């Protein structure tokens, strides 16, 4: 179970995170409020939270508040919450044809769904010592140990089974807009796939009456029919509604239902997943990121648990809604689909589609729109276009080193990437700001995420040395500063992964106070608390053989959204920003920081 940290630990960690962001006077005030909170109302709330947690052993203390946080948010899901991960291309280039890839990936996704529902999907396990635990022998033995104690057997060899409770929401699931708080809806009985092309909605069954997956050649035939359908784009594409403010969308949805669209919407909401087929090829990585993060607004249904997007040239990616689950579940699905569709593809370039009557099997959904709905769609499109217009995405690849060299120098690759972001921001804006790094707590029952706070007194000191005090420091001193940053970041990462961060605990206490009608404690009204939670640099990392790159929008209007990956011999970075920040300059600054760090680690003297 996810532990509730000790209150004194949380306060200490919170103050450590505040220190680099505040001057001495501000810090004294924040410290005073924190200790007052720890001895008074904070202590009472903490005891109530622990008692409540002990009564709800079937879940974790963060589950309810975290779902609420997502589902009560009223901002549009696109750019604010939905993230994307794009697939690597198939190594066999002829398999990257849009129809072939769409058929193969759809079939593999359905195989994953069936395997999962039958209880045959291999458990997700984090192996700290894979030589011992990631073996056939271990799997054979652990299979016969009763499940109530099998996790303990895994712990003994440093293998940590991860929570898979989110997986069922991958399929047949949608976030439904409701006033004040949305709902998650899942209908596992539905057998059809939703396909979007040119803003038009199509559905066809992919599971037959006996629960078997439709033959690949039939899926291919139906997708070919949709790809060759020359219906014009609708004058009022419904997809835009799922990009609206949630309350606005909730009212428009009610209007849609009242206007005779209940059956069509039910088809959309209950579909196994949404396959979006785009009619253009991808030009470059920046175009790829824009396509997968937001697209044109008409050919997506952002409320589905995920959209599998495949462009004209067979480039594929996933855009996923974030309230139901985190990157770990989506990444597992993506890894399996990539592996299955590339190593054992269901169809080949030589395969012929089945001779079936697709015009009967495929249903095009028509929506009845009144003037208010047409006006609503027009307004949603205007807002969507304006948001997307304001968004910049930039990226770099640093090829002067990666994970291998950093491990050789005994520093953490993730710590170095995060240090480069801190140094870059300091170089560009001459300040240290609130920074967020996501860390999964899936090692615990119903764990979600915890925050690592990469901005520390160590990264601040190191940034100052590299940016403003270079002439005063020897290469050895700079190396020592990098090592200190790495050690501290390693400690924060370990604490967060073990449920010993401070962000979720403080969030849970605040949620409890509000739910009990208690006046919000002064601690939470401190400007420094608000500033720490205004995450100007929001970061997330992933490395996988299936994934080419991932990204998300900035979480605040004056922020950067940083998706990054540290590979064996290179580092990739994808940055989103709005006009108040210059993402291109930030990336150039990150590149310079990485260059400096690597040169220092190699023992070279660097110039300012």
Query: Residue 381 has what DSSP assignment?
Result: H
Nearest to 347 by CA among 539, 215, 258, 184: 215
Annotation says 322 is catalytic: yes
Q: How far lies 50's CA from each of 6, 12, 64, 70, 580, in Å?
A: 10, 19, 15, 23, 42
The sign one gets for the Cα dihedral 480, 483, 487, 488 is positive
Q: Where are the beta strands (DSSP E) in 246-366?
A: 274-277, 306-310, 316-320, 363-365
The answer to whether 601 touches 406, Cβ cutoff 8 Å, is yes
Q: Could you tell me which residues are beta bridge partners of residue 573?
A: 396, 564
Separation CA 321–CA 173 (nearest Å): 10
Q: How far lies 486's CA from each of 285, 418, 491, in Å?
A: 30, 9, 9
Separation CA 419–CA 599 (nearest Å): 14
Q: Determine the distance from the C-alpha atom of residue 594 to the mean position of all C-alpha atoms in its chain, rounded to a whole number.
A: 25
Query: Residue 180 has what DSSP assignment?
Result: S
Three-class secondary structure of residue 176 per DSSP: strand
Separation CA 52–CA 601 (nearest Å): 49
Q: Which residue in the list 46, 222, 294, 322 is annotated as catalytic?
A: 322
Nearest to 593 by CA among 390, 454, 421: 421
Q: Which helix (H) or strand (E) segment is 243 a member of?
A: none
SS (H, E, C) 412-453: CHHHHHHHHHHHHHHHHHCCCCCEEEEEECCCCCCCCEEEEC
Separation CA 334–CA 86 (nearest Å): 9
Tokens of 16: 């450590």
Separation CA 452–CA 446 (nearest Å): 19
The answer to whether 172 touches 190, Cβ cutoff 8 Å, is yes
Active-site amino acid positions: 322
């Amino acid at each position: 179970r996810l532990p509730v940290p000790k209150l004194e630990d949380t306060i200490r960690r919170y103050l450590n995170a505040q220190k680099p962001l505040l001057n001495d006077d501000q810090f004294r005030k924040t410290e005073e409020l924190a200790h007052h909170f720890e001895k008074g109302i904070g202590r009472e709330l903490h005891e109530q939270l622990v008692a409540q947690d002990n009564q709800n052993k079937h879940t974790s203390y963060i589950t309810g508040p975290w779902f609420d946080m997502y589902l009560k948010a009223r901002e549009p899901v696109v750019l604010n919450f939905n993230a994307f991960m794009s697939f690597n291309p198939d190594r066999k280039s002829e398999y990257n044809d849009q129809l072939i890839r769409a058929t193969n990936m759809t079939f593999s996704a359905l195989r994953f769904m069936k395997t999962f529902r039958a209880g045959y999907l291999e458990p997700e396990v984090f192996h700290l010592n894979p030589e011992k635990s990631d073996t056939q022998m271990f799997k054979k033995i652990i299979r016969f140990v009763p499940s109530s104690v099998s996790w303990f057997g895994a712990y003994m060899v440093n293998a940590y089974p991860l929570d898979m409770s989110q997986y069922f929401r991958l399929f047949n699931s949608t976030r439904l807009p409701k006033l004040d708080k949305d709902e998650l809806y899942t209908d596992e009985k539905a057998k059809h796939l939703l396909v979007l092309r040119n803003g038009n909605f199509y559905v066809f069954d992919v599971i037959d009456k006996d629960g078997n997956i439709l033959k690949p050649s039939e899926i291919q035939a139906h997708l070919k029919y949709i790809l060759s359908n020359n219906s014009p784009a609708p004058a009022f594409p419904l997809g835009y509604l799922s990009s609206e403010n949630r309350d606005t969308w909730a009212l428009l949805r009610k209007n849609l239902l009242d206007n005779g669209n209940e059956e069509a919407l039910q088809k959309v909401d209950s579909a196994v997943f949404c396959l979006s087929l785009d009619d253009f090829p991808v030009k470059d990585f920046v175009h790829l990121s824009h396509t997968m993060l937001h697209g044109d607004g008409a050919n997506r249904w952002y409320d589905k648990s995920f959209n599998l997007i495949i462009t004209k040239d067979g480039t594929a990616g996933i855009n996923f809604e974030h309230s139901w689950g985190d990157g770990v579940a989506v990444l597992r699905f993506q890894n399996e689909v990539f592996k299955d569709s590339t190593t054992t593809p269901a169809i080949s370039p030589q395969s012929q589609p089945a001779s079936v009557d697709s015009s009967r099997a495929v249903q095009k959904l028509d929506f009845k729109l009144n003037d208010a709905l047409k006006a609503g769609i027009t307004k949603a499109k205007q807002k969507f276009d304006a948001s997307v217009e304001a968004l910049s995405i930039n990226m770099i690849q640093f090829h002067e080193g990666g994970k291998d060299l950093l491990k050789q120098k005994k520093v953490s690759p993730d710590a170095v990437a995060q240090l480069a972001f801190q140094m870059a921001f300091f170089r560009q804006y001459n300040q240290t700001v609130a920074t967020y790094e996501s860390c999964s707590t899936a090692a615990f029952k119903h764990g979600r995420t915890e925050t690592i706070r990469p901005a520390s007194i160590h990264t601040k000191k190191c940034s100052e040395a590299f940016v403003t005090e270079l002439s005063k420091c020897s290469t050895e001193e700079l190396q020592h500063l990098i090592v200190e940053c790495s050690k501290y970041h390693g400690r924060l990462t370990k604490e967060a992964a073990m449920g010993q961060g401070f962000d979720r605990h403080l969030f849970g206490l605040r949620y409890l106070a509000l739910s009990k009608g208690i006046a919000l404690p002064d601690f939470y009204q401190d400007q420094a608390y608000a500033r720490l939670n205004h995450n100007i640099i929001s970061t997330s990392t992933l490395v996988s053989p299936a994934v080419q790159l991932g990204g998300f929008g900035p979480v605040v209007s004056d922020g950067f959204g940083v998706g990054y990956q540290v590979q064996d011999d290179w580092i990739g970075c994808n940055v989103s920003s709005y006009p108040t920040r210059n993402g291109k300059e930030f990336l150039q600054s990150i590149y310079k920081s990485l260059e400096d760090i690597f040169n220092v680690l190699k023992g070279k003297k660097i110039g300012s």
